[in-house]
Amino acid sequence: MKKIIINGGKRLSGKIKIDGSKNAALALIPASLLTKDVVTLENVPDISDIHEMLDILNILNVSYEFIDNKLTIDSSRIINTPLIKKNIEKIRASYYFMGALLSLFQNVQIIAPGGCKIGNRPINYHLNGFRKMGINVNEMDNVFNMSYVILNNTTIKLPFPSVGATINLVLAAVKSDNIIIIDNISCEPEVNQVIDFLKSCGARIKKIGHNTLIIIGTAKLKGTTFKVMNDRIEAGTYCILAALLGDNLLIEGINKDHLNSLFTILDKVNADYFIKDNIAYFNKSNLNNPFEIETSPFPLFPTDLQQPICVLGSFLPGQSIIYENIYEDRIAHIKELNKMGADIKIFQNKIIINGRTPLFSNKLKAKDLRGGAALIIAALSAKGTSLIEGVNYIERGYPNIIQKLSNVGADIKMEDS
């Protein structure tokens, strides 16, 4: 079992470079199957979730090469085979094979998606959207069978701007003979990436206003080369760490427009930083104000940074409050932080952080990806030696994290026993 061992309390200086976006790349891999030509994706992060997706390509007889963050996919010999193996359940993004395979073969058999246990994560918006398009959806023992003869011209209004449902419905619609309108779409940058990618393959997708898509089906899409954007959540995680421990610490590869909601909070708490081009420069901060945050769809504060920013709250005077509006159970980190000396309470979706409380090292367990990142930030900020288990969760989404942190002076190592 892998463990991360951190001797905390050290200031960090130097440069951390951000990798490509996990959630964009995870959607772009199934999207790449929609053309039988070769697709090259650049800046793909080397993380375990991506390797899980590549394992699914093996099942589908799709060939690929993944070297130095460049992923070349050749799906000219793709076969439609049931995706029901247990490992497919491990990741959330496996649901994108629903849309992609429906588009290619008009039918799919696939096990329900998994992912981090951060709440009840239904896929009813995906399924109801498919049904509205004219797709028959049946579920038995956690396996979905879906098929159609022709799709309907239709308008689908999502009840909530879901990232996954928006992308899945676009994938299902993009090669049809019809016009499909999707309203109340997610405006997350990762969704825009998929739209831009499909357009570069020749798809006809139009955005009307900021949250409606018109998809005019295009039977044949062509291959392309596409650069995945940088990961705004990896960037945000390291910026939170830098606000706590940075002393001439540079976070390189940031798109400020993707993280305005975080920078507003960092301004509020008096973090000492500035941004020039795509680099955030952090000096030693004299943090001195609490914050109030509501997690919401983009461009508001992302739920994926709720767990890391809880740690920051513990180092601020007064009471910081977070309303977690997206996932009802994204709270596994709180018990661990309280073990370290934090004073964090939860009332329904309201997280109350009473600061300032020094954190002390402890034996900790990550139970999900972003919660794991929060524990790393906490252990780096705490005096003494902490041990973190549940490393497999962290490896799902933070490429090369031990090396990146060691390079800037963190006393961190991984042991595999």
Question: Footprint of ligand EPU on this chain (CB under 6 A)?
Answer: 23, 26, 92-93, 116, 121-126, 160, 162-165, 186, 188, 302-304, 326-327, 369-370, 397
Cα 73 from Cα 139, distance rounded (Å): 30
Q: CB within 8 A of 370, min separation 6: which ones?
A: 116, 233, 237, 304, 305, 306, 307, 308, 330, 333, 397
H and E: helices and strands count for the chain? 13, 23
Return phi, psi of residue 414, to 5°.
Answer: -115, 135
DSSP summary character for residue 372: H
Catalytic-role residue among 116, 201, 239, 310: 116
* Closer residue to ligand EPU, CB minimum distance, 137 or 279: 137
Catalytic residue flag (residue 239):
no
Q: Which H or E run contains 243?
A: helix 232-245
Q: What is the closest distance, in whole angstroms, from the C-beta atom of residue 129 to ligand EPU in the complex?
A: 8
Cα 68 from Cα 403, distance rounded (Å): 16
Q: By the 8 A CB rule, do 167 and 28 touch?
A: no
Q: What is the closest distance, in whole angstroms, from the C-beta atom of residue 91 to ligand EPU in the complex?
A: 7
Residue with tokens 């031990």: 402
| Closest among 123, 211, 163 to 24, alpha carbons compared | 163
Residue with tokens 């990806």: 369
Cα 404 from Cα 382, distance rounded (Å): 19
Q: What is the token pair recorded at 236?
A: 């945000």
* Closer residue to ligand EPU, CB minimum distance, 330 or 404: 330
Q: What is the closest distance, in whole angstroms, from the C-beta atom of residue 101 to ligand EPU in the complex?
A: 17
Q: What is the closest distance, in whole angstroms, from the C-beta atom of residue 222 to ligand EPU in the complex?
A: 26
* Closer residue to ligand EPU, CB minimum distance, 250 or 311: 311
Q: Could you tell me where the DSSP H helices lie in 38-153?
A: 48-59, 96-105, 124-133
* Closer residue to ligand EPU, CB minimum distance, 324 or 340: 324
Burial (CB count <10 Å: 0-12, 13-18, 19+), residue 71? buried
* Closer residue to ligand EPU, CB minimum distance, 180 or 250: 180
Instruction: Name the CA dihedral angle for 40, 42, 45, 47, rounded to a multiple of 10 degrees.
Output: 20
Q: Tell me the residue nearest to ligand EPU as measured from the CB.
A: 164
Cα 42 from Cα 44, distance rounded (Å): 6
Q: What is the token pair recorded at 94?
A: 């496996």
Q: What is the closest distance, in whole angstroms, from the C-beta atom of residue 26 to ligand EPU in the complex?
A: 5
Q: What is the closest distance, in whole angstroms, from the C-beta atom of residue 257 to ligand EPU in the complex?
A: 16
* Closer residue to ligand EPU, CB minimum distance, 31 or 93: 93
* Closer residue to ligand EPU, CB minimum distance, 50 or 408: 50
Q: What is the closest distance, in whole angstroms, from the C-beta atom of residue 84 to ligand EPU in the complex?
A: 20
| Residues designated as active site | 116
